[in-house]
Structure formats: structure tokens, C-alpha cells
Structure 1
Amino acid sequence: MDNKCWICGKQEPMMFTCRHCGKTFCSDHRLPERHACEGLERGAGYSSGTSGTSGNYNRTYTGGQSYGPEVDEAIKNMMKDAAKTAAKGAATGAVYRTRSSISTSPSMAIIFICIISFFLELIPGYVELFQLVPSMIFARPWTMITHMFLHGGFGHIFFNMLVLFFFGRELERRIGKDMFLYVYFISGIVAALGYALTSNTGLPMIGASGAIMGVFATLTVLAPEMQVYVYFIPMRIKYALLLFALLDFALIGANDMVAHTAHLSGVLVGLYMGFRIKSSGKQRRRTGYDTRRW
């Protein structure tokens, strides 16, 4: 076999065979454009031999691969397209899962509405239209429901929705979606009435705390031994409810901008509904799901 360069006749330890024309070249003439490759004119395709070059793809044997500028640009474009496709797929999947959870879980639907409403509160007059004012509760009866979707700040909505996310979905699984909605809204409405009848300040009320306390109390009756974490302290849910109720009772009349009577009203409704559901045997049999955080 002739190991001389077909162009200059030079011999080197490693010679290159062009995969287009099949001739042997030194390192100076190995590129097709350096030896006027006849194979390119005949439209020869790419090859993956043990040595040589193919089009703009150059394979070297010094520990890696090198590519021509056109191939590099094509690879970059492919990587960008792949990244865009992956991002689009992840976003689409997240949207689908969110829509699915909202359509199948009343708790998730309520959380979604509360979040949307939280941003709508930036509109002037929005809160004033839907907040509950004790002296106007019967003149504006819709506020007995709409006040549950308003919140007074990020911390307020975050902790309320966090509790609803854990305990609301658990109650759904135990009593069903329809009964859950019944417990939630009856607790919220009675909490509004309780606050309106006992308030001596006349301050407006917003927030889902009364309804959520009703959910929490109902779940306590149905699963009193469930373990929860209150500020990272483990305890039975029945003791957690007792702790919250005692705190609300002790702080009635305190100037802390918290509607404690609404919380207690929600608890009373939740306890009543829990015992009613338990006595009727409508609670679903559950296993697991016995550790929740609040």
C-alpha cells in the first residue's frame, strides 16, 4: 500500500485516507478542499471510517473530536431546540396537572380561586365590595361567602391555603367532594354570622379561617388520633384543635385584628358536622394519610 501523500509525496507516521475519493494524504492535505477532492464533485456521502475526513466533519485521533463551523452551529441549534421542547413539555405538563387537580379536588379549586382573588385585591374597590361588614351583613348577603376568598396579606393567604391543602384534601377523601363543600361553606357562613353578631368593633372581616377551622374540626371528629405537626411539634389532631380553640377563646376581645369568634363558630359547625357524618356511617374507610402538618 502506498503511504505517500498523493499531492506532495510526503510520508508521515499516520496518514489519512479520504472517504470521498479514497486517496492517501498527509496532515497538510487531508481536508477535501486542500486536495481538490473529486469525491465531493460526485456527491459522495459521509462515512465513519477509522481515519480520514468526511465533508465538514474532521475526526482526529488526539483524544477527541473536532467539528467544522457549520456542524458546530447545527449542533448548537439542535441543543437550543431540544431545550425549548423540554421546557415547553414541562410547562404543558404542569398546566395539565394543575387543571386536573383543580377539576377533581374542591380544595384545590378553592385555593386557586383564593390566589386569583388575592391578585384582584390590587384593583381599587375590589375588597370593599366583597368583604364582610357586620352592620351590613343582611344588606349585602353575598359577602357571607365572598369574604372567604379574600385575604389581608401574603402570610394570611399562605398559611390558610397551606392548611387547606393538607387537611382539606384529606377530608375530601374521607367524606367525598359534595359533603366537603357543604362542610366548608356552612362553616364559613356560620363563622360570618357569629362574627357579625358578636363583634363590638364593627371592623370588616376577610379570610377563609372560619371555614378552614370547620374543616379541621370535622376531620378531628372523624380521625381524632391522626398525628399532626403544629409548629414542628407532633401531637394528636384532637389536642391541636383543643389548643387552637382555647387560644381563640382566650383572645376574644383582644385588639389583634383576628376574628376569634369566627374561628370558634367554624369549630362548632365542624364538630357538629363531624359527629353527624360519623353517626350516619358516611365516612369512607381510610388507611394511611395520618400525618399532616399545620
Structure 2
Amino acid sequence: MGGRRRLPTCDYCGKEISLPYTCEYCGGSFCSKHRLPEKHECEGLSEISRKSREEGGIYRGISEELRREEPREEAPGEYRIGEHERDRRKRGGIDEIFKSLFKGSLGLLKSFFTRNAAMLILLSMILVFFGQLVAMGVLGSAYYTPSDFGTFLYFLAPSQATVLTRPWTLITSIFVHGGFFHLMINGIVMFFIGLAPERRIGRNKLIYLFLRAGALASLVQLLFIPSSIVILGASGAILGVLGTLTMLAPQMPVPLFFFIPMPLWMLALGYGAFSAVMALSGAGGHIGPMAHFSGLIVGLAYGYKLRRGGKEGHGGTFRPPRGRS
């Protein structure tokens, strides 16, 4: 007899299913567990939310009846069409191994870092830093020697002397850091503020904002430093994210120094004023105050643009998608 007939698979988890569900919003095929738009990160959710707001309502997700409905699981003893008994027993063992593996801590980490753009950005920063450590150990002085534009770091981070011939460094430098403490500070801030604006503006717009604010912040800072000095770090990009969030949710409570509560607009105003004073006085040392200040301004401007777009499209009232911040 011929081989086993291949069944369709779930577009989200890859599980073989005999009766797939087709999502009416994105057109994908899914198993019973991931058939709902929220369960497979449906690309149509943003469109549903937008249409709901245009019609004067708010899309609040699936109904409680559907939430309570238990997903159907394939029974351990269920046969697949054309499958041999030996293969069925083997499949059951392998399936159980993978289920136990990805339902544990590994699956949690995978979902945490890949589901959200903010956490994917954070993971990229961490991986690039480990790559820097390897390059330092392998290359030695060839990793970075000031004014030697052929050394490795000049191909990752811009300087006045190299930015025109290596424009990609305006983007790559955002993920490069000068040390563990530099990475830790930026990583902590991104971890705590990144998800809130992503829920309001979406994954793609957050990535666009992050890269644009970081690149423009680096360009501005290059105007105020010697031609051979490189600019690196995600501070300008992160402050761009902070600026946009400030425009969209100015009253959001945030803990200053992790325990002093204050509204977000007050924190942004205070940090912006501090950066401006540092930039005008020429202080700051290795810190780039102009990059910080310009990144914040870019974020505020982008948030203002989104807010005006929301007002024009929703009858004069800006109502971002609901979600936990």
C-alpha cells in the first residue's frame, strides 16, 4: 500500500490536524487550540481594532463563551489515516517529549522574546554584546583603535569620518554597547517601557520608531564630537520610545528609581531638561546628551503625529487599543 497521507498542519504550532479551522481575518489554517485570532497572533487584529474604533466601538477580544470553551486535543490512542501501529507508538513518544520540552521554561522564554518586538530588540542587544566580547578576544587591538578606521568597531558604529561611506552603522550602532553596565542600563529601561507603547502602536511601528530615533540621535550627536570618536548604544532609540509613550499616555504612573511614583510626562520633562542642560554646558563625558535629547524629541514628535492621527480618525478623541501597561 502507499505511504501515509500527509495531513494539513496548523500554521502556528505545526501540529497535524484532520479538520483545520480557517481564520476569517488572516486566511490561515489552525488547530482547535489556535483557531481564535488572539491565539495565533492574527495579523488582522489591528485591522479589526481600527475598524471597531472607526465605528465608534472598541474591539475587546473574543467572547467569554469562546474563552471558556476547552480546546480539543488529539487522543493519545487516535490513529492517523494510513499510519502503521509501530509509527503511531513512536509518534506518541516523540510528541510527548516535545510537548514537555516546549511547555516548560524553554517554551516560556521562546514566547517571551519572540512574541513582542520590544523583547526581540532586547534579545538582539544582548546577542550583539556577546558577539562583541568574542570579537574583542579574537581581534585584540584590531577590534578598536581610535583613528584607525580599518579596525572592527568602525564597521559597526559611525563616526564623522566614516558615516558617509558606512551609512549602515547608524542602525547597527544602536545594538552595540560600550560595556556591560551600558547594556544593563539600556536593557532595564527597554524591558520596563517597551511593551506599553507596542500595545498601543503595534509591532511594526515600534520597530520603525526605535530604529529611526536611534539613527537620528546618532547623527545629531556626531555634530558635537571629534571626527574619530564613534557613537554607539540604544539610549537615543529608547528615549524615542519613551517620548512616544509620553505623548500617548502622559499620566501613566512610573516608579522613579524603582520606588518614587510619578506621572510619565513629569519624568520625560525632567530628563529632557537635564539632557538639554548637559548638552549646552558641554558636560557628560562619554555620555551623549545630544543623542539622548534628540532621541526624546523624535519620540515626542512621532507620538504627537500618532495622537493627531487618532483624533482625526476617531471623532476628536484619541483612544489607543486597550491593554495592560
Q: Is this a same-fold pair by TM over 0.5?
A: yes
Question: Larger Cα Rg: Structure 1 or Structure 2?
Answer: 1
Deviations 1:182-226 (A, max 9, x none): 111110111111111233474211100000000000000000001
Specify whether residues 217 and 94 from structure 1 end up closer, same or farther in structure 2 by C-alpha distance, changes over 3 A only: same
Deviating beyond 3 angstroms after TM superposition, the runs of 4 or more aligned structure 1 residues are: 88-92
Residue 76 of structure 2 corresponds to which residue in structure 1? none
Specify whether residues 141 and 201 from structure 1 end up closer, same or farther in structure 2 by C-alpha distance, changes over 3 A only: closer
Specify whether residues 248 and 111 from structure 1 end up closer, same or farther in structure 2 by C-alpha distance, changes over 3 A only: same
Deviations 1:239-264 (A, max 9, x none): 10111111111112115200111111
C-alpha deviation, 1:101, in angstroms: 2.4
1:236 to 2:263 alignment: yes
Deviations 1:149-184 (A, max 9, x none): 111122211111111112111110011101111111
1:275 to 2:275 alignment: no
Identity within the alignment, %? 34
Specify the SS of the correspondent of 2:261: strand
Using the alignment, how far apart are the partners of 2:284 and 2:238 within structure 1? Answer: 22
Letter in structure 1 aligned against 2:171: I
Residue 212 of structure 1 corresponds to which residue in structure 2? 238
Question: Which sections of structure 1, spanning at least 5 residues, go unmatched?
Answer: 1-87, 290-294
1:99-110 to 2 correspondences below 5 Å: 99-110=110-121
C-alpha deviation, 1:97, in angstroms: 1.9
2:285 to 239, 248, 256: 256
Using the alignment, how far apart are the partners of 1:180 and 1:285 within structure 2? Answer: 15
1:94 to 2:120 alignment: no
1:73-222 to 2 correspondences below 5 Å: 93-122=104-133, 123=135, 124=139, 125=143, 126-200=152-226, 202-222=228-248
Letter in structure 2 aligned against 1:101: F
Letter in structure 1 aligned against 2:321: R
Specify the SS of the correspondent of 1:229: strand
Q: How many residues align?
A: 204
Using the alignment, how far apart are the partners of 1:229 and 1:139 within structure 2? Answer: 42
The answer (yes or no) to whether the contact 2:210–2:237 under 8 Å persists in 1 is yes
C-alpha deviation, 1:121, in angstroms: 0.9
Using the alignment, how far apart are the partners of 2:212 and 2:219 within structure 1? Answer: 11
TM-score by length of 1: 0.64
The answer (yes or no) to whether the contact 2:174–2:234 under 8 Å persists in 1 is yes
The answer (yes or no) to whether the contact 1:194–1:262 under 8 Å persists in 2 is yes
Specify whether residues 284 and 192 from structure 1 end up closer, same or farther in structure 2 by C-alpha distance, changes over 3 A only: same
Using the alignment, how far apart are the partners of 1:246 and 1:227 within structure 2? Answer: 20
Specify the SS of the correspondent of 2:262: strand
Question: Which sections of structure 2, spanning at least 5 residues, go unmatched?
Answer: 1-98, 144-151, 314-318
Higher strand share: 1
